[in-house]
Structure formats: structure tokens, C-alpha cells
Amino acid sequence: MEFMPGRCIRDTYKCLILGDSGVGKSTFLRRHATGQFEEQHVPTYGLNVHTLPLETNYKSVALEMWDVAGDPRHGGLHNGYFFYARCAIIMFDLSSASSAASVAHWQRQLADICGKQLPVVVCGNKAELKRMCPALLFRQQPNVDYCEMSSRAAWNMEAPLELLCRRLLRLKDLKLISQPVLKPAKDCEFNVAKMRKHMDEVKKKMLPARRDEDDINEILAERDLKQYIVLN
Ligand SMILES: Nc1nc2c(ncn2[C@@H]2O[C@H](COP(=O)(O)OP(=O)(O)OP(=O)(O)O)[C@@H](O)[C@H]2O)c(=O)[nH]1
Ligand SMILES: [Mg+2]
């Protein structure tokens, strides 16, 4: 991986990027850093750390991305990785129900060590693929945002970084600027309107923050949902 030459940016925040093996964590970082899309899944062993410098409409910041192996046999998560983390992305694959079901597990591990206040973005990747069958339900939480993207289609890839920067700098109208325009991967077919509609539906039908399972069951019955995954 090639990255932009080291620049001294005072506002550098450590960001963990977690999620099951194959959801596209390393691809997302490589895409941002070099523009390239790698078709092959080359699993990460242990951990890779890369710094992404970002320009915003307020100031320059950098996210030091800790890209952790999703497969525990390849190293998995160690408690030491969490030290001084300021935020996290939990990624899943929108075409894989098992990776979505794992989001809650990754979030629990994160909260156990970093506390429940850490800014987190739950990020569904591979939005250009056929979506998994269970409906996705996202629970409103004060420090957690939701977005969908596709590294392959180069769609909405700035969203998770922008959402984290907004929370880190406490600036709701912060925007990333000067982001390189990325091209979709070769032969990638996708429909932007459809991808956006799916994402907006999850956000519009967000579950309330209440923890009570009876409340949740009542809402699910109202919506007549047979198959669903509560992400967080
Ligand atoms: N269709 C599609 N494939 C993607 C997308 N993003 C990544 N991939 C593919 O997903 C596979 C896994 O990507 P990686 O980035 O290596 O996955 P990872 O999460 O880093 O996996 P581990 O390192 O094993 O934890 C690769 O074959 C990528 O080409 C996407 O947006 N759409
Ligand atoms: Mg990886």
C-alpha cells in the first residue's frame, strides 16, 4: 500500500476499523490511500496501521486507522489495540447476514474496553451487491452513526470518515473537502438511487434507544417483520 507522504498534522486521532473477515476493511483504506480497488481478498494478519490525512472545511485532521484482522485465527483483537482509541468504524458486508449479526459482538468488545461514549460508525459496505434478506434494524444511540457505502462502486466512501470527524471535532456541519474523485472498479454495475434508498430506509426506520426488549418486539410486530437483524 502506498500512502501520502508523512505530514505533521496536530489533530491526529486513533481510529479502530473492526468487522468480520472479508467485509472490506483493508480495501476501504487502500481505496482512500491509493485509489486502487483490489479484487482479491488478501486477509490481514494481526494489524496494519495507516494514517489518512483529511482536509475539512474547518481544519486538517488525520485519522490513524488501525486495521485489525477480522479472522481471530489471523491474530484477532487484543486489548492493547484499544488503548488511546478515539473512535471506531465497525464494518459489515450488506450482502452477508452473518457479518451483520457480528456487528453487535464487535460493538460489545469495543464498549467493554473503551466505554460506551466512544464515537462509532456502523458501516455497511458492498452496497452495490444484492442485499441480504433479513431487514436491518439500527438502534438510535447517542454516539453511534450509521452509513452504507461501496468501495467497489466508489460510492459514499467519505461518509464514515466525515461522520467521525464531525463527532471528534464536535462540528455538525463539518465536511470533508478536496477528496480525490474515485472511479468505480472495472465492470462494476450499480444503481446509486437504489443504494441511497436502501440506506435512507434503514435510517428512517431507526429503532428507538430504549433497551426494553418488549418495546422492540412491539415495534417489530407493528412493522410485520419476520426476518431481521438488530445491528447494535
Ligand atoms: N463487491 C464488493 N466487494 C468488495 C467491496 N469492498 C471490498 N470488496 C472485496 O471484499 C474482499 C475482502 O476485502 P478486504 O478488504 O481484504 O477484507 P477485510 O475486511 O480487510 O478482511 P480481513 O483482513 O480478513 O479481516 C475482497 O475480495 C474485496 O475485493 C465492495 O464495495 N464491493
Ligand atoms: Mg484486511
Reported as a single tens digit per residue, the pLDDT across 18-50 is 999 999 999 999 999 999 999 999 999 989 999
Is the pLDDT higher at 116 or at 13? 13
125 strand-pairing partners: 93
Between CA 231 and CA 53 the distance in angstroms is: 29
Give CA separation, 71 vs 13, 93, 133, 164, 221, in Å: 25, 15, 24, 25, 35
Please tell me the predicted confidence (pLDDT) of residue 4. 46
pLDDT tens readout for residues 111-158:
998 988 999 999 999 999 999 988 999 999 999 999 999 999 999 999
Amino acid letter, residue 199:
M
Please tell me the predicted confidence (pLDDT) of residue 177. 95
**CB under 8 Å to 179, separation ≥6 — which residues?**
55, 158
Please tell me the predicted confidence (pLDDT) of residue 210. 65
pLDDT tens readout for residues 126-137:
999 999 988 999
- The whole-model pTM stands at 0.94
Question: Residues of 113-140 as b/e, b for ≥16 C-beta within 10 angstroms?
Answer: ebeeebbbbbbbbbbbbebbeebbbbbe
Averaged confidence pLDDT in the chain? 91
User: Residue 2 pLDDT more than 70?
Assistant: no
Q: What is the mean pLDDT of residues 66-84?
A: 87
Establish whether residue 124 lines the binding site of ligand 1, counting it when its CB lies within 6 angstroms of any ligand atom. no
Please tell me the predicted confidence (pLDDT) of residue 6. 45
Establish whether residue 126 lines the binding site of ligand 1, counting it when its CB lies within 6 angstroms of any ligand atom. yes
Would you state the CATH architecture of domain 12-230?
Answer: 3-Layer(aba) Sandwich (3.40)
Query: To test ligand 1's pocket by mutation, which of 17, 28, 32, 41 has the most ligand atoms within 8 angstroms of CB?
Result: 41
Please tell me the predicted confidence (pLDDT) of residue 133. 87
Please tell me the predicted confidence (pLDDT) of residue 220. 79
Please tell me the predicted confidence (pLDDT) of residue 211. 62
Establish whether residue 21 lines the binding site of ligand 1, counting it when its CB lies within 6 angstroms of any ligand atom. yes
Is the pLDDT higher at 219 or at 210? 219
Name which residue sits closest to atom 12 of ligand 1, judged by CA: 22
**Angle subtended at Cα 155 by Cα 3 and Cα 133, rounded to the nearest 5 degrees:** 120
Cα 220 to averaged position of ligand 1 atoms, centre (Å): 32
pLDDT above 90 covers what percent of the chain? 74
Cα 7 to averaged position of ligand 2 atoms, centre (Å): 25
**CB under 8 Å to 172, separation ≥6 — which residues?**
166
pLDDT tens readout for residues 167-208:
999 999 999 998 888 999 999 999 999 999 999 999 998 888
User: Residue 7 pLDDT more than 60?
Assistant: no
Q: How many CA atoms lie within 13 A of 134 on its CB side?
A: 17
Q: Locate the domains of the chain by residue range.
A: 12-230
